[in-house]
């Protein structure tokens, strides 16, 4: 499917002390779609995320975002290009208010430079714009009632929402979500799904890591499967999830064999 790719990676290789964590020859993430990155535990999905966003450095490899080469860039520069990630274990800024968390999501605030910090005239206007925008987004995520609470006081699911809302303050073109559903109670799952689908409606590209096949099937337009650091399959959810290689990688080759028959075979 990828006719127009927003992210193209080639020959990305990362090993830790001899153990290959990621060895991706070529992958493209289609623009304006929702792509799921799936694979068993230890497949290298999060490491690949870390590499793409500059949080980790590969031994070799190149990748470009929207035509700009981004390998070797520090993570904050990658984020400023419009490629914003969230974390598997949510990272809210606990002893700051929810609203302050949101304000830090914006990258248009000139007052963040030391030389402008004392010049209110330089940053007050942007501050008002950002606050307004933050409250709009918080309302969309039903967090507006919490705006002045400390983020540390939010529930696990609310933190996931805040992290996603905060990423949107940066007006990203590519949103990368690392296990957005992990640890979220079922009541919030539906709302999170809705928010992710909404990102696509608003013209953003989404790449997410997930284990929940139900979510992958319902949400993703494109699925990339990793196992042992390599990409072993990609395609539409229907084709990939019915592929034998994928099912084997996930569940083991004998997942649908009756245990008794295996025991008898052994005996």
Partner 1 sequence: MDWILNSLREIITPTTAAYALAAIGLNIHFGFTGLVNFGQAGFVAIGGYGFAISVTQLGLSWPLAIAVTLLLAVGYALLLGIPTLRLRADYLAIVTIACAEIIRFTLNSSAFASVTGGANGLYNDYSGWITGANPYPQGLVHLGPWTFTSTDLWIATVDWAVVAVVAVGVFLLIRSPWGLVLKGIREDEHAMLSLGKNVNLHKLQALVMGGAIGALAGILYVQPTSVQPFDFASRMTFNMYTMLILGGAATVFGPILGSMIFWVVMRFTDELVNAGVDAGLLDNATQGSQLRFVLVGAALVLLVVFRPQGILGNRTELSFDAK
Q: Give min distance, CB of 122 to partner 1, in A.
A: 10
Please identify, using beta-carbon distances, which residue of 43 and 84 lies nearer to partner 1: 84
Residues that bind partner 1 (CB under 8 A): 53, 55, 74-77, 79-80, 84-87, 91-96, 100, 103-105, 107, 109, 111-114, 116-118, 120, 123, 127, 150, 152-153, 166-167, 170
Please identify, using beta-carbon distances, which residue of 95 and 260 lies nearer to partner 1: 95
Compute CA distances 175 → 84, 96, 100, 104, 116, whole Å.
5, 23, 21, 17, 30
**CA angle in degrees (0–180, nearest 5) for 208-55-35:** 15
Q: Are 205 and 172 in contact (CB under 8 A)?
A: no
Q: Give min distance, CB of 144 to partner 1, in A.
A: 20
Please identify, using beta-carbon distances, which residue of 80 and 230 lies nearer to partner 1: 80
Q: Give min distance, CB of 160 to partner 1, in A.
A: 13
Q: In sequence order, what are the beta bridge partners of 150?
A: 97
Q: Give min distance, CB of 151 to partner 1, in A.
A: 8
Q: Give min distance, CB of 84 to partner 1, in A.
A: 7
Please identify, using beta-carbon distances, which residue of 128 and 254 lies nearer to partner 1: 128
| Strands 60-65 and 5-16, sheet pairing | antiparallel
Please identify, using beta-carbon distances, which residue of 107 and 189 lies nearer to partner 1: 107
Compute CA distances 214 → 7, 19, 149, 190, 219, whole Å.
25, 31, 34, 12, 9
**Residues ≥6 apart with Cβ < 8 Å to 227:** 39, 40, 43, 249
In which element (H, E) is residue 84 found?
A: strand 83-85
Q: Give min distance, CB of 127 to partner 1, in A.
A: 7
Please identify, using beta-carbon distances, which residue of 35 and 50 lies nearer to partner 1: 50
């Amino acid at each position: 499917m990828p006719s127009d790719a927003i992210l193209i990676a080639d020959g990305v290789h990362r090993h830790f002390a001899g153990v290959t964590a990621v060895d991706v020859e070529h992958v493209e993430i289609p623009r304006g779609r929702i792509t799921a990155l799936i694979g068993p535990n230890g497949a290298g999905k999060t490491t690949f995320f870390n590499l793409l966003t500059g949080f980790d450095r590969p031994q070799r490899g190149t990748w470009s975002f929207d035509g700009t080469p981004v390998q070797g860039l520090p993570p904050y520069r990658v984020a400023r290009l419009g490629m914003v990630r969230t974390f598997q274990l949510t990272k809210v800024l606990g002893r700051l208010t929810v609203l302050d968390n949101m304000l830090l999501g914006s990258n248009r605030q000139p007052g963040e430079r030391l030389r402008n910090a004392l010049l209110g005239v330089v940053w007050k206007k942007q501050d008002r714009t950002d606050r307004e925008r933050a409250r709009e987004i918080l309302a969309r995520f039903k967090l507006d009632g919490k705006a002045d609470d400390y983020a540390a006081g939010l529930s696990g699911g609310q933190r996931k929402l805040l992290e996603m809302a905060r990423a949107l303050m940066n007006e990203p073109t590519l949103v990368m979500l690392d296990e957005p559903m992990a640890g979220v109670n079922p009541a919030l799952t539906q709302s999170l799904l809705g928010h992710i689908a909404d990102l696509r409606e608003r013209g953003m590209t989404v790449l997410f890591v997930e284990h929940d096949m139900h979510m992958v099937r319902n949400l993703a337009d494109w699925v990339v499967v990793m196992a042992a650091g390599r990409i072993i399959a990609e395609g539409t959810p229907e084709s990939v999830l019915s592929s034998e290689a994928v099912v084997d990688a996930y569940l083991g080759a004998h997942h649908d064999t009756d245990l008794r028959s295996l025991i008898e075979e052994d005996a």
